[in-house]
Structure 1
Amino acid sequence: MVHGLWSVATAVAAVTIAGTPAVAGAPVTYHRTVTLGTLGGASSAPQGLNDERAVVGWAETGDGRTHPFLWRDGRMTDLGTLDDGDGGWGIAAAVNRWGTVAGQSRGPAGTRAVRWQNGGITDLGTLGGDYSFATAINDSGTIAGASTTPDGSLHAFVWRRGTMTDLGVPGAREAFAEDIDNRGRIVGWRAAGDGTAAAYLWERGTVTFLPALGQGGRARAINERGDVAGAVLAGGSSRAARWRGTHLELLGNLPGGNAAGALAVNDDGVILGVGNVAPGSAEDHAFLWRHGTLVDLSTSGVPNSAVGLDDRLEIIGTVPNAAGDGPLAALFVPAG
């Protein structure tokens, strides 16, 4: 393991605050739902996808275990775990354009960040602790995630060419890495000892905290243009946000709602998120943000379980399984 000394930059921001935008008629119509199946069990759920329509996640096996899957060309494949016994389980979190997958699996030594490539599984190790997990992978095979350290704290890492490196996010009780682009830029967030969260961008050893409104933020995704999507806390509510450099833009709320968060952003700058439709309501709707407008996807059949978006505006999420007692991984395909 390599531990480096990192420089820290603090961003000073301009902020754009959008009001509650009108919902456009239907700029995107989702006409087809593709259910991805399971590995012999009842349930499954996606975690990530690439622009070649490969989807990864977890699925139940016939004996009730949770195994990682890769779905492409209409077929779900069990990626395997570090432990082939009853205690083995795994979750695939992200897939790059070449079909290399990152995630986590439990083996004899505990739960570890792993890479699946060419039919094999690689334990990526830890930062000296007993637990790690991977969340993102870029096209060169660089992986981002988080690991415990010898003192039990959780630190964000980058794994490259066999070496796991602590990102050195300062002031963190816990630090999470959420996404990585093909330039190796990593976004995520850290939780401080007082419970506040701060979104950050890591690039070439430098951690830059992204602007917020004094109440914290979380960065969830980055595209190849450097657009960062996530959420900030404003007035006690989560607000969907986009960062471009040091500029923070609040994306607004769905009509009637007062809370939202962004989950993914594609290379065209279209953002996927989830928001409520009434203050205090447990009912959330998935939305797309494009051309400055929030589009409620509930009328298009896309559920609030949406978690990922590709450059063709295909969305991954879940629908109820056949028994109605669990999720089933699904791909939502737009018309045209």
Structure 2
Amino acid sequence: MTAALMAAAVPAAVAQEPTPHWTAQRMTGPVGSMHIVTGANDRGQVVGWGVTGDAEWRSFLWDGTRLTAPPALPDGTEPQFEAINDKGQVAGYDKQPDGSRRAVLWSPEGRPRVLGATNILGVKDLNERGQVLIDSRAHQRDLVWDGDRLRTVTSPDPDDAAAPTQGFRLNNRGQVLANTYPRLTPAPQPRPERTFVWRDGASNWIPAPPGTEGEEILPAGFTERGLSAAEVGNPFDSSDRRPYLTWRGKVTQLPPPSGSDHAVLSRRQDTLNERGDAVGTAFDPRTGERRAVLWSHGQPRELGGGLGSDTEAIVLNERGDAAGWSETAGGVPHAVLWRDGRMHVLGTPEGYVSSRATFVTERGDVAGTAISEAGDVHAFLWRLR
């Protein structure tokens, strides 16, 4: 056999991609010893809350190098950061002297703008246009700051005018995935909870799967192109909720994986990506264990791996990376990320006993928390190297 034929007969070696590796970085700064992460962006910035030594809540912004606390507004106290976009804008609230909260939008340079919404619960979402979804109090309808003024999120049905609305997600087109919440109205309402999409004062119900008319519909995910995820069934009983996707009037039901009697979506803001992938939890009826599951093209697949017990996937990026945690046989959670069909243990840093991943960027960096041996909760960023 000639050298040329031998070369043709032997397949070329397939280049192997290097195994991804994440390095844990603790977010440190003068914001107390207990931290809760509330948002992260693709620039590596993270926002959240810390508890100071005198038991006061204090917000923080991690810029990749240090943890800093925002200054209080001249006529307010205790600013709280709740969402951040890729431009570096931050949305949240600050407290008035009487204890009430008002919505605030901070520029990337840290300049605050009071949005005019007062006596609120907090902020739910912030898009790349600087629009803000505001969480009003019970028995009220949620609000959207559209860049110029406040708009009220209203349902499609005039008969539901008295029912409160709850915004779930705000996309970059200014669309809000929301639901009516008749249980919070002073008088009983004849309609169950329903989910709709609102934009610029107009709204439309999302369709329900066939044969489920009259059942409760809960929002569970939303994308930039308007793909919606929802669950139909009993809002108080996860075993009686059935997840599905809807886009342009088409409904795709999301069945549980083989061996599970039911599954639910994580119902986080990053439950769903533009490809239509969704993450959630399947339940094993024999053992009662929870299993992380990914739906792709409507088909379920358990993400696999695991450290001995339950696995939870709660967020997803556009690449299809899913993040969450896996518990040991002793019930101790450790932060993990699933990529290309493989589970990667991000690691619980030395001196810490457990960890959870709660946000994943498009690059694959992960934000979350870890609990120290002393019981303190610290914010961590696992950077992809």
TM range (shorter): 0.7 to 0.9
Q: What is the CA-CA distance between 1:174 and the residue it aligns to?
A: 2.8
Whether 2:290 is the aligned partner of 1:238: answer: yes
The answer as to whether partners of 1:81 and 1:106 remain within 8 angstroms in 2 is no
Counterpart residue identity of residue 342, structure 2: T
Whether 2:71 is the aligned partner of 1:27: answer: no
Q: Return closer, same or farther for 1:208/1:162 CA change in 2, 3 Å cut-off.
A: same
Q: What is the CA-CA distance between 1:210 and the residue it aligns to?
A: 0.6
Aligned to 1:135: 168
The answer as to whether partners of 2:355 and 2:370 remain within 8 angstroms in 1 is no
Alignment of 1:48-87 (within 5 A): 49-54=84-89, 56=91, 64-66=99-101, 68=103, 70=105, 73=108, 75=110, 77=112, 80=115, 82=117, 84=118
Whether 2:237 is the aligned partner of 1:175: answer: no
What's the CA shift string for 1:19-52, capped at 9, x where partnerless? xxxxx99712233525334685669574x55444
Return the TM-score normalized by structure 2.
0.64
Q: Distance in 2 between matches of 1:318 and 1:120?
A: 36
Q: Distance in 1 between matches of 2:349 and 2:111?
A: 26
The answer as to whether partners of 1:79 and 1:119 remain within 8 angstroms in 2 is no
Q: Among 250, 253, 262, which residue is 1:215 paired with? A: 262
Aligned to 1:10: none
Whether 2:247 is the aligned partner of 1:203: answer: yes
Gapped runs of 5+ residues in structure 2?
1-17, 28-45, 47-59, 62-68, 183-188
Range 159-168 or range 308-317, more displaced: 308-317
Counterpart residue identity of residue 202, structure 1: T
Gapped runs of 5+ residues in structure 1?
1-23
Q: Among 192, 195, 198, which residue is 1:156 paired with? A: 195
Whether 2:342 is the aligned partner of 1:293: answer: yes
Q: What is the CA-CA distance between 1:71 and the residue it aligns to?
A: 5.6
Aligned to 1:247: 299
Aligned to 1:113: 142
Q: Return closer, same or farther for 1:286/1:97 CA change in 2, 3 Å cut-off.
A: same
What's the RMSD between the two structures over aligned residues?
3.8
Aligned length: 298
Q: Return closer, same or farther for 1:162/1:70 CA change in 2, 3 Å cut-off.
A: same
Counterpart residue identity of residue 111, structure 1: Q
Of all paired residues, the percent bearing the same amino acid is 24
Q: Among 267, 276, 280, which residue is 2:327 paired with? A: 276
Whether 2:317 is the aligned partner of 1:266: answer: yes
What's the CA shift string for 1:34-79, capped at 9, x where partnerless? 5334685669574x55444555556666654455555663638475
Q: Among 359, 365, 371, which residue is 1:308 paired with? A: 359
Q: Return closer, same or farther for 1:268/1:70 CA change in 2, 3 Å cut-off.
A: farther
Q: Among 152, 159, 163, which residue is 1:123 paired with? A: 152
Q: Secondary structure at the match of 1:106?
A: coil
Q: Secondary structure at the match of 1:216?
A: strand
By relative contact order (CA 8 Å, sep 6+), the higher-ranking structure is 1
The answer as to whether partners of 1:104 and 1:113 remain within 8 angstroms in 2 is yes
What's the CA shift string for 1:267-313, capped at 9, x where partnerless? 1111122343336x3x4333221122223334259985643322133
Counterpart residue identity of residue 337, structure 2: L
Q: Distance in 1 between matches of 2:71 and 2:208?
A: 38
The answer as to whether partners of 2:125 and 2:132 remain within 8 angstroms in 1 is yes
Q: Return closer, same or farther for 1:193/1:274 CA change in 2, 3 Å cut-off.
A: closer
Q: Among 226, 243, 249, which residue is 1:184 paired with? A: 226
Q: Return closer, same or farther for 1:255/1:154 CA change in 2, 3 Å cut-off.
A: same
Q: Secondary structure at the match of 2:177?
A: strand
Question: Greater Rg, structure 1 or structure 2?
Answer: 2
The answer as to whether partners of 2:315 and 2:358 remain within 8 angstroms in 1 is yes
Q: Secondary structure at the match of 2:348?
A: helix
Q: Distance in 2 between matches of 1:273 and 1:76?
A: 33
Q: Return closer, same or farther for 1:192/1:331 CA change in 2, 3 Å cut-off.
A: same
The answer as to whether partners of 1:135 and 1:177 remain within 8 angstroms in 2 is yes
Counterpart residue identity of residue 181, structure 1: T
Q: Distance in 1 between matches of 2:132 and 2:380?
A: 18
Q: Secondary structure at the match of 1:248?
A: strand
Q: What is the CA-CA distance between 1:209 and the residue it aligns to?
A: 1.5
The answer as to whether partners of 1:198 and 1:216 remain within 8 angstroms in 2 is yes
Range 172-181 or range 259-268, more displaced: 172-181
Counterpart residue identity of residue 112, structure 1: R
The answer as to whether partners of 1:155 and 1:169 remain within 8 angstroms in 2 is no
Q: Return closer, same or farther for 1:199/1:334 CA change in 2, 3 Å cut-off.
A: same
Q: What is the CA-CA distance between 1:203 and the residue it aligns to?
A: 0.7
Return the TM-score normalized by structure 1.
0.72
The answer as to whether partners of 2:283 and 2:290 remain within 8 angstroms in 1 is yes
Q: Which has the higher strand share?
A: 1
Q: Secondary structure at the match of 2:145?
A: strand
